[in-house]
Structure 1
């Protein structure tokens, strides 16, 4: 993520929050959902784990832009 932020010129906590949220929603969550769907896991588990991944990516996005 840090490399992506540096190349995109993302600076500031607000932009980091939005970029991290986008990474979580549109990169990490579909990946988790695809893997869990093919393995036959329950839908509730997909939503829980995708939510945690999205929140984690959002926090990481903010932290990376603060450093």
Structure 2
């Protein structure tokens, strides 16, 4: 089903909505593969920020 915008505000928000859907799907795949994202360990904030990028790289390598 394709959403057709009816005004300029909806036209502006359409790409953002589509990007948000893709990002949510990607995190859903990562959560199914790597359960550490469901219940993250209590580690330093720097490591928590790096963790998703590392898991994406591992997922793409596998």
State the TM-score bracket (shorter-chain normalisation).
0.3 to 0.5
Which structure would you say has the larger Rg?
2
Taking CA–CA contacts closer than 8 Å with sequence separation of 6 or more, which of the two structures ends up with the larger relative contact order? Answer: 1
Query: TM-score under structure 2 normalisation?
Result: 0.43
What TM-score, normalized by structure 1, do the two folds share? 0.40
Q: Which has the larger helix fraction?
A: 1
